[in-house]
Amino acid sequence: MMTKNRLEGFSDGVLAIIITIMVLELKVPQSAGINGLKELLPLFCSYLLGFIYIGIYWNNHHHLFYLTKRVNGVIMWANLHLLFWLSLFPFVTAWVGKNHLSSFSIALYGFVALMAGCSFHLLERAIIADQGVNSLLALALGKDCKEKISLLCYLVSIFLAFVNTWIAVGLFIFVAFLWLVPDRRIENFLATTYSS
């Protein structure tokens, strides 16, 4: 009933701000020279990971709405719900960086990542509910293995953080790599559909 343009524009705005807000936490260090850089290293690494995460979400959001024809009130709130959890990334990123990878901060990061993942899934469901299970989008998304694996990794990382923080961090990096290959389901699906 409504066009998707403004929803895309607003989401792009929020994601652009989230991805650049994180760099605001990179304050010029007290120590000059190479020692100052070393001081910043944990914060810089968590900024890099956060940048990749938000980049992944932007890519997937782009693909998702590429196949969405129209939006309704439920989709708009599902999208705002996703943006809410994503907006907490700069905060947990700073927490992890400043507490030098404490167990609690890693678990919190995993929790926010889990909630963001779940809200993306809910957004997909809201769009499919509107467009029908036989829509292009429903067919293109298919079995969404990557999503399920990611959510499982986030869930496990919350508990693993209290056992061994490095394994939990390793899980976050693993999920990032999993998605850095962009979601070819939709690209491939389009290629198959329109070439035949």
CB of residue 175 to a second copy, shortest distance in Å: 16
Cβ 96 to a second copy shortest distance, Å: 9
Q: Does 131 bind a second copy (CB under 8 A)?
A: no
Candidate residues 38, 39, 69, 104; the one interacting with a second copy per rule CB under 8 A: 104
Does 176 sit near a second copy (CB under 8 A)?
A: no
Q: Is 158 exposed, middle or buried (0-12, 13-18, 19+ CB in 10 A)?
A: middle
By the rule CB under 8 A, 190 interacts with a second copy:
yes
Directed axis angle between helix 5-24 and helix 33-66, to 10°?
Answer: 170
73 binds a second copy (CB under 8 A): yes
The single residue among 42, 45, 102, 130 that binds a second copy, judged by CB under 8 A, is 102
Single-letter code of the amino acid located at 153? C
Question: Smallest gap, in angstroms, from Cβ of residue 176 to a second copy?
Answer: 12
Contacts by residues 91-95 (CB-CB < 8 Å, ≥ 24 positions apart): 93/22, 93/25, 93/46, 93/47, 93/49, 93/50, 94/22, 94/25, 94/43, 94/46
DSSP 135: S
Q: Is residue 9 within the footprint of a second copy (CB under 8 A)?
A: yes
Binding mask 31-50 for a second copy (x = CB under 8 A): -xxx-xx----------x--
CA distance 52 to 139: 27
Residue 2, classed as helix, strand or coil, is strand
Q: CB 30 → a second copy: shortest distance, Å? A: 11
Answer yes or no: are the C-beta atoms of 7 and 79 closer than 8 Å.
Answer: yes
Q: Contact positions toward a second copy, by CB under 8 A? A: 1-3, 6-10, 12-21, 23-24, 26, 28, 32-34, 36-37, 48, 51, 55, 58-59, 62-63, 66, 72-73, 76-77, 80, 83-84, 87-88, 90-91, 94-95, 98-99, 102, 104-105, 108, 180-184, 187, 190-191
